[in-house]
Structure formats: C-alpha cells, structure tokens
Amino acid sequence: MLLAGAGSATAQSTAASATKTDSLNIRKIYDEALLRGRSYEALRDLCTRIGGRLSGSPQAEQAVQWGKMEMEKMGLDRVYLQEVMVPHWVRGAQEKARATGAKGRGIDFNVCALGGSVGTKGKLKAQVVEVKSMAELAALPAEKVRGKFVFFNRPMNPTYMETGHAYGEAGDQRRIGAVEAAKRGAIGALVRSLTLAHDDFPHTGTMRYEDGVAQVPAAALSTNGADQLSQLLKADPDLNFELEMACQTLPEAKSYNVIGEIKGSKYPDEIITVGGHLDSWDLGQGAHDDGTGCVQSMEVLRLLKATGLKPERTVRAVLFMNEENGVRGGNKYAEVAKASQEKHLAAMESDGGGFTPRGFNLEADAATVRKVQRWQPLLRPYGSAEFNPGHSGTDIGPLKGQAKLLIGFDCDSQRYFDIHHTAADTFDKVNRRELELGGASMAALVYLLSKYGL
C-alpha cells in the first residue's frame, strides 16, 4: 500500500536529485570554459588575421572558410554552408569633411559614410540646418531646408539604464534621416553618431532609401564633431560644409551561413539553434560586433562535447551572414527551415558584445517564459540569472512562429555602444574571462533546454 504523501515525497526527492545533477553538470561546463576555453583565441584569429568583414567583401569570404574550418576541427556530426545572396556595398576612399565659416577658416571633421549611402560624386558643398528630431525637420519652412545638409543632432538618452533602449530611440535619424531630408529638398544628411561616449570616432550603421525619393549622401559625425559643428552653427549659421565620399553599391554577391551541429541522442528532430553574425562593418575588426557572438556560439558545441554532456536534442551553431546591412542570412536560414519542415524548439542569439554575462531575454508565450525562469537558481551562482521577457535578436527574429522560444544572450551593455560600428571595435577591447563566461552561460541554458525541452 502506498502511504499518503509518499508519492509526493518521491517526486520531490527525484526533483532534488535532478537539480543536483544539473548543478554539477553546469559546474563542469563553467570549469571547462574557464580552464580550457577556446573562444578568446578563436576570436584573436578572426579579428587580427581577417579583420572587418562586410558582406560581399573578400574578408567576409575568408571568414566563411575560417568558420567552416574551426567547426570541422571540433569533430561535429555535421558542418556545412548554406548559400545566400547578399548586398555588396563598398566604402571606397577615406571620407573627408570640412566646415568653412564667413572668415574663410576651415575646420576638418571626422566622418564616415553610413552603410548603403550613395557617394557624393566629388565634393558636395552646402549650408547646414540643425535639427533634433524628425518632427522639428517637418516643421521647418521649405526654404530653410532646400539645397542644404540636414544635421540630425539628437543625442542618445543617457538616463536609460538599458543602453539598447537609448540606441533604438535615437536610431531613426540614422536609418531614415537621409530619406526625410531628401523629401524636404536637402542635398545630404549628417547624423550624430549613436553612442553615449564623447570621442572622435564616427559610428557607421545601415541606412535605407525609399522608392520615389531622391537618394542623397548620408554621413555620421563623431559626437565631439557633432558638438563642435553645433557650436559653430550658433556662431555662424551660414557656414558651408563640404563632404566627399566615394562609397557605392555593387551587384549582389554570393555568400554563406556557416552551420555546425551535434545530433540529439533522443530527439534528433528537435533543434536548438545558437548563433551570432559573421559579417561586420569595415571600420574595425568586428570584435564585439559580432565576433564574440560567433565564437561563443561555436564554443557552446565544444563545451558540450568536451564535458561529455551529449545533448538529447540537436544543437546547431549558425554563423549568420549579412546581419548588419540586410539580414539575408537570418531570413535564408528561417526560409530553409520552414521549407524543410524542421522543428525548432528554441533559438538563441549573442549579438550584444562579449561583456560580463547577466542572463537572457526571452521571447515566447507567458507559460514558456515561466518554465524557463524556473532554471534561474541554477545559473544564479554564475551571475547569469536575469531571465526577462524581451528582444532576442535580429538574425533569429525570422524564426518567430517556427521556434517555440527565442532567446537573446544578455550581457552588461554599458560599454557596448562606445565602440559599436567604429574603428575602435578591435580584439584588444575584449576581456578573456568575460568572453568565456558568456559562452559557458549560453552552453548551460542550451544543456537544460536539450535535456528537458519545453
């Protein structure tokens, strides 16, 4: 006879035993990462030997072959390339900018073309009108804008604790500033760099044009440069600004997503994807954006193999191509997954830098979020227990509706936008321990998802 309460006690004992096993296995993952982690050296190779890897460039192709070789060396069950056509925009010669006042004295500015911008076809010279918002631009009389550069000078809001919130809020001036300026008859757009730092590094990033609207050049000024130009305009509203950019868009190029996987031991048809984007902007080495996400995603597979924690569900690492200026890789991956009727349990993305891990952002229904949150105590000893509803990632976004859960790896964001999309995004800015801890955090959650599913 089963005594009253005996079943409940047995269940509690089983649950406690499972928790202890999981805790020990997660400790193994972290020990392996901190003692023998490979992310940092892999990132060194990618950044210092190949460097910036804008879609369509020779460096992007080198990075594809690099990623394939790195995963083949791990002895995974499968490594393959997934073809995707990508945009091919080139920066050309170094951009030049100069402001000249009524007294004829010229001041040079650090600028860079925004990704996708047309060039100036020589030197483009005009007066400047400064605005802080799209609404302010729309309210200006037409004669105040026509034939001039529109200078969008709205800083990111420093009072937000989450810097990504500030970045997103200020980003419209970069993304659509040139379109809105052209609609009012302007000949170009100048944009304050999207960063909270005060320095001389201009930040690039994608912008877009609109059918039926004139395509005018768009350039970013460093924050110091934007402050200086604003002061100059107060003293001399009629100063002239001269811009020279040689950027252009070439025909689309063939590229690839790089994919490696470990087949699940019990449920091979259920897939957990973890990834970062292999392409980067061309100004720096693409270290934090997003070399760190790529090496961490590959490290998830290595950590599972090295610790002997063979996943019950298939775990797939994807190095996505063309996140920065098109999301072609993410769209292609989701398209192929749907056509192949693949069953994606979850997808995780690391694209916020390789800084100190904090936890994960979860995109799913409330019941699924609550289920994942039950694992928070297992990651609390490692500082990665913030499991909150939130944005997951750009490349895995197209899987929404196919995957039950989308996950964004969340790390400390305070320094990310200081170097994001700049020449300062280099390998020396990455801390080895922070990077390896991030890969371990990702591997720990993947281990739990693989074992328990959703």
Residue type, 442: M
Exactly one of 299, 323, 324, 342 is catalytic; name it: 323
Structure tokens at 3: 């005594």
**DSSP three-state, residue 128:** strand
Q: Where are the alpha helices (DSSP H) in 123-273?
A: 134-139, 142-145, 163-170, 172-183, 223-235
Active-site annotation holds for 95: no
What residues have CB less than 8 Å from 44, skipping those under 6 apart?
427
* The 149-152 sheet, strands edge to edge: 106-108, 96-100, 240-244, 123-131, 149-152, 188-192, 218-221, 111-113
Tell me how far apart the terminal alpha carbons of the chain are, to the nearest angstrom: 34
Record the tokens describing residue 237, joined without a space: 């509203």
For residues 24 and 18, give the distance between their C-alpha atoms in angstroms, rounded to a whole number: 10
Determine how β-strand 123-131 pairs with β-strand 267-277.
Answer: unpaired
Q: Which residues contact 190 (CB under 8 A, 6 or more apart)?
A: 111, 128, 149, 150, 151, 152, 218, 219, 220, 221, 229, 241, 243
Catalytic amino acids? 323
